[in-house]
Structure 1
Amino acid sequence: METFVFSSRAKATTGGLAVFGFLLLVLSYFVDGGEGHHMRFWTNLLHNTVFFTGIAALAGFAYCAFTTAYAGWFVQFKRVWESFWMFLLPGLFLMGIIMVGLFTHDNHMYHWNDDAAVAHDVILNHKQSFLNKYWYSIATVVFVGIWYFVLGRIRSISIDEDVNGTAAYGHHARIKKYAAPFLVFFGFSSAALIWQWIMSLDAHWYSTMFAWYATASLFVAMTALTIMLLIYLKSRGYYPGINAEHFHDLGKYLFAISIFWSYLWFSQYMLIWYGNIGEETIYFRERLDSYPFLFWGNLAFNFVLPFFVLMRNDTKRKAGTLFFVAAFVFFGHWFDFFQMIKPGARLTMIEMQEHEGAHGAGHEGEYAELPGHTGAVGEGEHIGGPGHQGDLHDDAHEPLVDNHNVETHPDAVESNIPIAIENQEGPGPNIADDDLATSDHEGSEHYATSPSAEFKSGYTIPGLLEIGIFLGFLGGFLFFVLSTLAKAPLEPKRDPYFEESLHHHT
């Protein structure tokens, strides 16, 4: 069949899922009683919006990369990726809701969006030229808007090729004029956005590998969803020309980029572990101590299963096995973004609650000096607790963490992450990274377990609400994609590489 027909049954299924997910998203606004200014609702909205908008963007990136490289194997199903990237517009609308929340202070996910916190925090104050609601909003609108415009032009040329084109390279050459510059622009702009959207939730932490890591995660998710959708369409009688070789190639990309993701995960973790610098270890320290299921489950979902199943050559040619692995990995990388987002946002929520409890609602939002995020640091002061940078000194000649005077925290033996603890003879209290140090009026000190260590559905693990919202977003994404897919010929038969794709053999 040359044109996809979006059946009433498919509309009811995907549309029903979308409505179901929307209702659960609304429910998540009320179910926590307004805790953290409805933090559960806002983090669920951010999580799923970034995940599915990222999948749309990575479909455009893959299309442009293969087009620029003169690849022809994917041409037969390129309409699927074109339909994916058209979701950028709904994604931008959903990000707009989050941007409005930043200006109205209806969401408190980002520590850097609190003026009082920035004023009293050396780290946030230093980063405020980049971490602020104006740059966040302008960059989101401009960058995603440019992505949508460029990819929209490519789709228009591609569709026009089917109507007015020939098997010559005229339209294809015009597409390449957009595709090649898009790759360069996307490389820089996507990194800036992922730093803003996701990494800045842990505002005192940074990693130069984070953008690569998150982008690889989205690429795997996009490939997995492509595999599942093509298997579904082929089962309905569409794409008769797609054969085992196409699925084999997609399976190889699923396997290869899963391994690349694992390499990035290990490289980031290993370098931070080995360096043992306070402002870097806080990210993994918090997740190891308080969110072990997220930490280890992430590796199980996204490395162990695809590695052992897709290593065999024949599994990438079997539709049933490939669909199962793709579904598993697709959920796994949604899970990956869950663990990127929830712990950092929850720390901010805990600090806000503690401050409001101590000072009353009149000081709402001023929580810069609470345990969990670094406040102003003077000479010789030391800060500990989840979210802290470790021991900071103003002396430029003194290392951030003195590895010659470091004791290993007991928990570090189990987790393999050494945590710097100041020598007892040094100034300031001896505070472990996974403890909160508090003192009474007499100056005595005691240690308490981090509140983030307590189990909480929706943060420690995805709750039923989170799973339902994920399925709802998936239903909405597929409803939009299938609706777009029905608006153009399913197979671009006048593409000069169509015959190569039709007779593709590896």
Structure 2
Amino acid sequence: MNQFTLEARHKSVLIGAVILGVLCLGLTFLFYDDELHSRFWSNYLHNTVFFTGIAFVSLFVLAAFTTAYAGWHTVFKRIWEAYAFFLIPGLVLFLVIIAGIWGHFHHLYHWTNEADVATDRIMLGKSGFLNKYWYTFGTIIIMGTWIFFANKLRSISVEEDLHGTTDYAFHRRIRRWSAAFLPIAGFTSAALIWQWVMSVDAHWYSTLFAWYATASWFVAAMALTIMTLIFLKSRGYYQNVTDEHLHDLGKYMFAFSVFWTYLWFSQYMLIWYGNNGEETIYFRTRLDEYRVLFFGNLLLNFATPFLVLMRNDTKRKFGTLVFASVICFFGHWWDFFLMIKPGVLHTTHEALAHGAEAAADAAHHGGFTAGFTIPGLLEVGTMLGFLGGFLWFALSRLEKAPLTPSNDPYIEESLHHHV
């Protein structure tokens, strides 16, 4: 079967997941005792960043493989084309955060408080970049550019299916657009990662952070791709996707889990060795007050995938591959939780502080805080809602074109792929 149809019962499951996510967000907003609704807004930001990043990385990988003359992925490249289109709802989701910045509906970012910025030398020095204008227009323009490239690559790919010729004119166009996108993606994604995630801890910075966050997105994208393909194969689709293709996806998931760990260690070790208070506070806070998150991050995202996927044959067994993919997907969602939540909580404490005693408590807060110290059921439910929305949107796009691009010049190489 080369034409995918999203069955009614699967639509119902995905819509049910979305309803669950909306319900969890609603309960978080109504019942979490915080006048700034920081748990609600941080859950919203966390999942918006995570799933938008998966869409971006899918587009980036598609462009990178095309530019590198890779052909092995061609048989299932429609999956990544469909994932990339989640950039559209991703932009809409970010517009809500942007409206919250302009309307002072939330306090996710300390730099949005102009009074604090005026008296803070560090934030004042960063104010040329960390401001609502840069956040707003940077997000809209850059994500708009990404959406333009996603639509261009997809439209040419579908056109190639319909009117492909032996001179490969359509594929040359795809390669030119892909090559143009790569440098744009490299520079602009770093700028948005700094804005969306790193600036949650406004006093802190790391030159490795954009690489680190992108590697986390990449592993999550590979994990979701594997699970999607195995699900579709179980429904009778993609029978031309073999163990060889899944083996390569498993290798990417394994390799970038190790690469993520390398970036994690490099960032941690260099900041620890430099012993600069402005930088070490990021890890000091997470080590002292978020030990379960901190060490759980390494267990989920390095130890487990390393031990499970190190053997060559485990990347060819569907059960083991799905298990590792679930762990990696959840693990990198956990990773973004750790990147975002402590900074938001600290900013919230400062915003709510009144008097010297409260201000001192804001500078060093300990103990358990629901939805921040560790993900709770509301956080997991919200993630499932976003996941349901992501898959519903992507699978709906998958219905609109043949699953296998029959006129792609690399299709025969992909169909006979062997490693």
TM-score range, shorter chain: over 0.9
What residue identity is the alignment partner of 1:232?
A: F
How far is the alpha carbon of 1:494 from its aligned partner?
Answer: 0.6
Aligned to 1:323: 322
What residue identity is the alignment partner of 2:255?
A: A
What residue identity is the alignment partner of 1:31?
A: F
Aligned to 1:191: 190
After the TM superposition, which residues 54-93 of structure 1 pair with which residues of structure 2 at under 5 Å, given as runs? 54-93=53-92
Aligned to 2:407: 494
How far is the alpha carbon of 1:168 from its aligned partner?
Answer: 3.6
Is 1:456 the counterpart of 2:392? The answer is no
CA distance in 2, matches of 1:166, 1:49: 40
CA distance in 2, matches of 1:221, 1:319: 17
Aligned to 2:24: 24
Contact 1:86 1:148 in 2 (8 A): yes
Aligned to 2:257: 258
CA distance in 1, matches of 2:179, 2:361: 44
Aligned to 2:4: 4
Aligned to 1:161: 160
CA distance in 1, matches of 2:71, 2:29: 47
After the TM superposition, which residues 38-57 of structure 1 pair with which residues of structure 2 at under 5 Å, given as runs? 38-57=37-56
**Max radius of gyration: which structure?**
1
> Which of 390, 394, 397 pairs up with 1:477?
390
The runs of at least 4 consecutive aligned structure 1 residues that moved more than 2 Å come to 370-373
Structure 2 unpaired stretches of 5+ = none
> RCO higher in 1 or 2 (8 Å CA, sep ≥ 6)?
2
CA deviations over 1:19-54 (Å, ceiling 9, x no partner): 111121122111113x15111111011000010000
CA distance in 2, matches of 1:312, 1:221: 20
Aligned to 2:378: 465
CA distance in 1, matches of 2:361, 2:405: 55
CA distance in 2, matches of 1:372, 1:247: 50
CA distance in 1, matches of 2:28, 2:21: 10
CA deviations over 1:264-291 (Å, ceiling 9, x no partner): 0000000111111100100000000000
Is 1:203 the counterpart of 2:116? The answer is no
After the TM superposition, which residues 24-423 of structure 1 pair with which residues of structure 2 at under 5 Å, given as runs? 24-33=24-33, 35-355=34-354, 370-371=359-360, 386=363
CA distance in 1, matches of 2:197, 2:114: 20
How far is the alpha carbon of 1:372 from its aligned partner?
Answer: 8.0
How far is the alpha carbon of 1:166 from its aligned partner?
Answer: 2.7
What residue identity is the alignment partner of 1:306?
A: P
How far is the alpha carbon of 1:224 from its aligned partner?
Answer: 0.3
TM-score by length of 2: 0.98
CA deviations over 1:205-230 (Å, ceiling 9, x no partner): 00000000000000000000000000
Match of 1:106, SS? coil
Contact 1:36 1:108 in 2 (8 A): no
Residues 346/198 of structure 1: CA separation in 2 closer, same or farther (3 Å cut): same
CA distance in 2, matches of 1:195, 1:36: 27
Contact 1:351 1:371 in 2 (8 A): no
How far is the alpha carbon of 1:95 from its aligned partner?
Answer: 0.2
CA distance in 2, matches of 1:106, 1:186: 30
Residues 223/167 of structure 1: CA separation in 2 closer, same or farther (3 Å cut): farther
CA deviations over 1:362-393 (Å, ceiling 9, x no partner): xxxxx9xx4488xxxxxxxxxxxx5xxxxxxx
Contact 1:167 1:495 in 2 (8 A): no
CA distance in 1, matches of 2:385, 2:402: 28
Contact 1:273 1:281 in 2 (8 A): yes
Residues 328/81 of structure 1: CA separation in 2 closer, same or farther (3 Å cut): same
CA distance in 2, matches of 1:176, 1:214: 26
Alignment RMSD (CA, Å): 1.3
Contact 1:36 1:352 in 2 (8 A): no
Match of 2:268, SS? helix
Structure 1 unpaired stretches of 5+ = 360-366, 374-385, 387-449
How far is the alpha carbon of 1:358 from its aligned partner?
Answer: 7.0
Match of 1:293, SS? helix
TM-score by length of 1: 0.81
CA deviations over 1:41-93 (Å, ceiling 9, x no partner): 11011000010000000000000000000000000000000000000000000
Percent identical pairs in the alignment equals 59
Q: How many residues align?
A: 419
Contact 1:32 1:38 in 2 (8 A): yes
Greater per-residue helix proportion: 2
How far is the alpha carbon of 1:161 from its aligned partner?
Answer: 0.7
What residue identity is the alignment partner of 1:492?
A: P
CA distance in 2, matches of 1:25, 1:188: 33
What residue identity is the alignment partner of 2:201?
A: D
Contact 1:347 1:372 in 2 (8 A): no
